[in-house]
Amino acid sequence: MRPCTRIWLLLIALSGVTYGIGEAGLGGKAVVATLLAISLVKSQLVAGFFMGLRRTSFMWRAIMGGYLVVVCGMIGVAYWLGAVR
Amino acid sequence: MSDTQTLALPRNPPGDLAIWFFIFAELLAFGIFFLAYAFARAKNVELFNQSQLLLNRESGMVNTLVLITSSYFVVRAVAAIREGFSQVCARWLLGAIGLGGVFVAVKLAEFHAKFAAGISLHTNTFYMFYLSLTIFHFMHVLMGMVILGFVAVKARRGGYSADSHTGVETGASYWHMVDLVWLILFPLVYVIR
Amino acid sequence: MQYQSQAVAKPYFIAAIGLFVGQILFGLIMGYQYVVGDFLFPALPFNVARMVHTNLLIVWLLFGFMGAAYYMIPEESETELVSPGLAKLMFWIFLIAGALTIVGYLAVPYATLAKMTGNDILPTMGREFLEQPLITKAGIVVVALAFLFNITLTVLKGRKTSVSLVLLLGLWGLAVFFLFSFYNPANLVVDKYYWWWVVHLWVEGVWELILGALLAFVLIKVTGVDREVIEKWLYIIIAMTLITGIIGTGHHYYWIGTPEYWQWFGSVFSALEPIPFFMMTVFAFNMVNRRRREHPNKAATLWALGTGVMAFLGAGVWGFLHTLAPVNYYTHGTQITAAHGHMAFYGAYVLVVLTIISYAMPILRGRAANSERAQVMEMWAFWLMTVAMVFITLFLTAAGILQVWLQRATDTPLPFMAVQEKIALFYWLREATGVVFLIGLIVYVLSFFAKGETKAA
Ligand code: HEM
Ligand code: HEM
Ligand SMILES: [Fe+2]
């Protein structure tokens, strides 16, 4: 199997997990953290393997990785704020 | 650029450098929009949690699978042209565009149901975000399909080769961006609570 | 000059510079009235001077854009203009209509002017930047149509390039959005809503396309970088402009009675508007660094780089400063707005028109570049005007911050006029810097008359 096919199947599987959590109606800090972590992994996979950033200089990977970490991280912060309020 | 076989890392990402400036500008736009959603929610947790339950998670999930798969097709298209197979490349691209069409159809059905239920930008802050975020993304899907369409037509005519196919990579990178954004948008708006 | 008909651009450029001088004189008069309230009372009220200042600005920029198009389009299309005669005729019509309008502003009270020019038939007057009498507005439409007809047919006849395509798109957009100036609903909210379709969608939409096209043209000429590279950047820049700028209109819809979601749309999208301006700066410097030739016109390159930097500062940085709804809640309509308005208009549109003039005018006068002496004067003019504008902006920003502080963001707000007196020092400083600006402008005008050995075409 090509590596990209494996990544594709992995992405499908992870999406299934996200959907399953949604169907189960779960909530709470741990669940939010899990879902965000899954999104981070998925988007990193797309960026690295599909967009080909994996094979570029450190700068490009850092920009994309930094972006994803900041966005997912800040979303986490916002949800945490919502929960403690 | 025939760096497929070599092991040395190319410095820049695939495709035209200019598209990467554009991609990061677009990512910034979506990123700010996502954070606006998240922080607006922090002030209205109840409202967001309630309204979110009324979204059609199934159609969101279907569209996730559709976009991931179409992105995968695009990867295959790039792989094909790197070996010099333009017709194969064009077929993968057409497949990806077709899946884009499925996304559009599913999304339109979803919008139709919401509008029929009388939901609009005015309904509440959650729906304001839901509609504007998904419509903004929707426009990007359409734009991505147009770009892939141009690339596919040129590939069909044999306009690319194993040595020269920056155009394919450029279109592919844009399409992956559209996919990547959805991978955050879907959990954020449809699932996380 | 490669094509004879490019020569019609010359009177347009000359008129633009002439009106520019008028604009600045009225700016100085107003700047003085700001601190000495009854200066020139009752001959020239502040509101009339303001109208003349801003309308001259718009009109001379339009002259500049038209001249630029008449110069660029034949060269880009590789063919003569369809009708140079029409272009000359329109020049005179536009100039005379413009002059008569200004005379009207100055000679009779505005309300009388409105009555004289049929404002009761179709009321369109009395709104900032769109104060022109109905007949002037109609005249502008006629001139614009004839102009668009002329250049569009020329493009269709000849070679089609990305630069001329983007330019045409911008100019057509300019004309189309101007049509909203004829729409003046009685409901003030609706009125303001569409008023911004002219004002905002001009400067943060279609004018940016014109800006991009002009800059790209000059950069192609002075750097010799491949057209393909420059065009690619141009497309990315205009795509980003439209994505952010159109919905970015929302940053004017915060407090005028429009739905609340505009606070989100306006904040999010306009916060991204600096991106295309930033790209333009990077683009300009990048192209100059990659230049393949040393063009003898050094001054033109300076103006082009200046456009990149100052547009980003004025529109991007100073725009961003007050564009988020929670910030704008305090700064709306203060001197911060005026600071931004000045630097953005100067940095983006004044400078780009002066860029194309700097590049084209020597060629129109039969040489590749002006003499060393003239170029040095031009560069002095650039620095004097630009530094003066930076300081005008800084003083107004300081005045604006104090204004917000004393009048709005406080538990014990002072009345408007009390605050104005407290910040008068900054208005004095602005006026003094305005004089420096005028000196720069005089040097600029004189540079056209400087003697010395010119570089052959
Ligand atoms: C070259 C481009 C631009 C020009 C010429 C320009 C010019 C102006 C002018 C003249 C005004 C005052 C309008 C009035 O109320 O009479 C204004 C207002 C404003 N501009 Fe710009 N602008 C530009 C770009 C931008 C950008 C990129 C942003 C945001 C990032 C921005 C943000 C704003 C905001 C928020 C206001 C409203 C200020 C208030 O509430 O009083 N502008 N602009
Ligand atoms: C190229 C240079 C200039 C440009 C592009 C320019 C542009 C403008 C614009 C767009 C406005 C409307 C601002 C708004 O609505 O917020 C304005 C108003 C004004 N300008 Fe200028 N101007 C220039 C030079 C000057 C100079 C040199 C002075 C005086 C020293 C001056 C003094 C004024 C004053 C006093 C106002 C009225 C502000 C108000 O209504 O509170 N301007 N100008
Ligand atoms: Fe604006």
Beta strand spans in C235-390 (E): none
State residue A25's pLDDT score: 87
Segment B27-41 mean pLDDT: 95
Q: Of the residues C130, C342, C436, which should be mutated to test ligand 2's pocket, given the most ligand atoms within 8 Å of the CB?
A: C342
The C-alpha atoms of residue B123 and residue C187 are separated, in whole angstroms, by: 24
Q: Does residue B122 fall inside a structural domain?
A: yes
Q: How confident is the model at residue B1 (pLDDT cuts 50, 70, 90)?
A: very low
Q: How confident is the model at residue B17 (pLDDT cuts 50, 70, 90)?
A: confident
Answer whether C405's CB lies under 8 Å from C346's CB: no
* End-of-domain residue from the set C120, C136, C160: C160
- CB spacing of B173 vs A51 below 8 angstroms: yes
Gyration radius (Cα) of chain C, Å = 22
Helix axes B17-43, B125-156, angle to 10 degrees: 160
Any atom of ligand 1 within 6 Å of the Cβ of C340: yes
- Residues A10-66 have pLDDT tens digits of 999 999 999 999 999 888 899 999 999 999 999 999 999 999 999 899 999 999 999
- If asked whether residues C151 and C282 sit together in one domain, one would say no
> Which residue, C451, C300, C363, is CA-closest to C9?
C363
Segment B177-189 mean pLDDT: 97
The number of distinct structural domains making up chain B is 1
As for the ipTM of the complex, it is 0.95
Q: Does residue B187 fall inside a structural domain?
A: yes
CA atoms within 13 A on the CB side of A84: 5
- Residues C277-299 have pLDDT tens digits of 999 999 999 999 999 999 999 99
- CB spacing of C240 vs B22 below 8 angstroms: yes
Quote the distance between the C-alpha of residue C406 and its chain's center: 32
CA distances from residue B72 to A47, B13, B20, B92, B177 in whole angstroms, order as listed: 12, 18, 20, 9, 13
Answer whether C314's CB lies under 8 Å from C351's CB: no
Quote the distance between the C-alpha of residue A30 and its chain's center: 15
Any atom of ligand 1 within 6 Å of the Cβ of C53: no
Taking 90 as the threshold, does the pLDDT of residue B6 lie above it? no
Write down the H helix ranges in C179-297. Answer: 188-201, 207-223, 227-248, 261-271, 274-289
Q: Domain containing B156: what range?
A: 59-191
Interface of B with A in 41-80 (CB under 8 A): 41-43, 45, 49, 57, 61, 64-65, 68-69, 71-72, 74-76, 79
> Which residue, A71, A77, A70, is CA-closest to A33?
A77
Name the residue ranges covered by the structural domains of chain A. 3-84
The C-alpha atoms of residue C26 and residue C442 are separated, in whole angstroms, by: 15
The C-alpha atoms of residue C211 and residue C157 are separated, in whole angstroms, by: 24
Residue type for position C276: P
Q: Does residue C330 fall inside a structural domain?
A: yes
Residues whose CB falls within 8 Å of the CB of residue B144, separated by 6 or more in sequence, listed in order: B100, B174, B175, B178
Q: Does residue C251 fall inside a structural domain?
A: yes
Q: Does residue B128 sit at the C interface (CB-CB below 8 Å)?
A: yes
Helix axes C188-201, C227-248, angle to 10 degrees: 170
Q: Domain containing C111: what range?
A: 1-160
> Tokens in use for B146?
């147009």
* End-of-domain residue from the set C160, C195, C220: C160
Q: How far is A71 from chain B (nearest CA, A)?
A: 6
State residue B11's pLDDT score: 76
For ligand 2, atom 1, which residue shows the shortest CA distance?
A: C346
The number of distinct structural domains making up chain C is 2
- If asked whether residues C22 and C112 sit together in one domain, one would say yes
Q: Does residue C398 fall inside a structural domain?
A: yes
- If asked whether residues C214 and C155 sit together in one domain, one would say no
DSSP C295: -
CATH number of the domain bearing residue C267: 1.20.210.10
State residue C457's pLDDT score: 63
The C-alpha atoms of residue C420 and residue C426 are separated, in whole angstroms, by: 10
Q: How confident is the model at residue B3 (pLDDT cuts 50, 70, 90)?
A: very low
Torsion of CA C220, C223, C229, C235, to 10 degrees: -50
Residue listed under structure tokens 């004839």: C146
- If asked whether residues C222 and C111 sit together in one domain, one would say no
Q: Residues of B with CB below 8 A from C239's CB?
A: 22
Report the residue count for chain A.
Answer: 85
State residue A83's pLDDT score: 87
- Residues B134-157 have pLDDT tens digits of 999 999 999 999 999 999 999 999
Report the residue count for chain C.
Answer: 457
- If asked whether residues C145 and C222 sit together in one domain, one would say no
State residue B9's pLDDT score: 54
Q: Does residue C194 fall inside a structural domain?
A: no
The C-alpha atoms of residue C323 and residue C273 are separated, in whole angstroms, by: 10
Residue pairs between chains A and B whose CB atoms are closer than 8 Å: 131
Q: Which residue of A has its CA nearest to B190?
A: A22
Q: Does residue C109 fall inside a structural domain?
A: yes
Q: Which residues does chain C have with pLDDT short of 70?
A: 457
Q: Does residue B121 sit at the C interface (CB-CB below 8 Å)?
A: yes
The C-alpha atoms of residue B119 and residue B122 are separated, in whole angstroms, by: 8
Residues whose CB falls within 8 Å of the CB of residue C33, separated by 6 or more in sequence, listed in order: C39, C40, C46, C49
The C-alpha atoms of residue C310 and residue C317 are separated, in whole angstroms, by: 10
CATH number of the domain bearing residue B125: 1.20.120.80
Any atom of ligand 1 within 6 Å of the Cβ of C337: yes
Query: 3-state DSSP helix/strand/coil percent for chain A, to nearest 5?
Result: 85, 0, 15
Q: Of the residues C54, C191, C203, which should be mutated to test ligand 1's pocket, given the most ligand atoms within 8 Å of the CB?
A: C203
Q: Does residue C197 fall inside a structural domain?
A: no
> Tokens in use for C412?
């014990």
What φ, ψ does residue C225 adopt, rounded to 5°?
A: -70, 150
> Tokens in use for C185?
């609903």
